Amino acid sequence: MQVAANLRALPQAEVSFNYLGQFDQVLPEPSPFRLVWEPVGPTRSLRGTRTYLLEVLGFVAGGRLRWQWVYSENVHRRATIERLADSFVEVLRTLMTHRQSPEAGEYTPADFPLLKLNQQKLDQLMAKIRK
């Protein structure tokens, strides 16, 4: 298990990216509950210690991909995080535009999530379609 030992020897990450999933699928349509976007106050103890300097949480809600940036105002200025978040979104848009262009190349299983295909099976299906 040399790989595990090598990974443990690395320094602690300072940034965490966590995709939380599709919240739209959590509550069924007839549910008496719904997601709200009003401020809720602190979601963790103000006396607690942070595992990461910056946490980026992604999720889908209301049919839209949303991001939440969690940071300490004692370490980062809001304007700095806002600039970083704006740059992050711009890079995502660029990647999505590229991925949808003909120059992007082949499909990946992520392009067809409901089919539950691996890359090898997808390649086989695409070869049949091209014949």
Statement: residue 32 has pLDDT above 80: yes
Q: Give the closest residue to 69 by CA, choosing from 58, 55, 79, 59.
A: 55
The 3-state secondary structure of the chain reads: CHHHHHHHHCCCCCEEEEEEEEHHHCCCCCCCCCCCCCCCCCCCCCCCCCCCCEEEEEEEECCEEEEEEEECCCCCCHHHHHHHHHHHHHHHHHHHHHHCCHHHCCCCHHHCHHHCCCHHHHHHHHHHHHC
Q: Which two tokens stand for residue 3?
A: 């790989």
Greater pLDDT, 98 or 15:
15
- What pLDDT is stored for residue 97 in this prediction? 86
Statement: residue 35 has pLDDT above 80: no
Domains in the chain: boundaries: 2-75
* Paired strand residues for 64: 61
pLDDT for 49-93, tens place per residue? Answer: 888 999 999 998 888 899 999 999 889 999 999 999 999 999 999
Count CB-CB contacts under 10 A for residue 70. Answer: 16
**Nearby residues of 4 by Cβ (< 8 Å), 6 or more positions away:** none
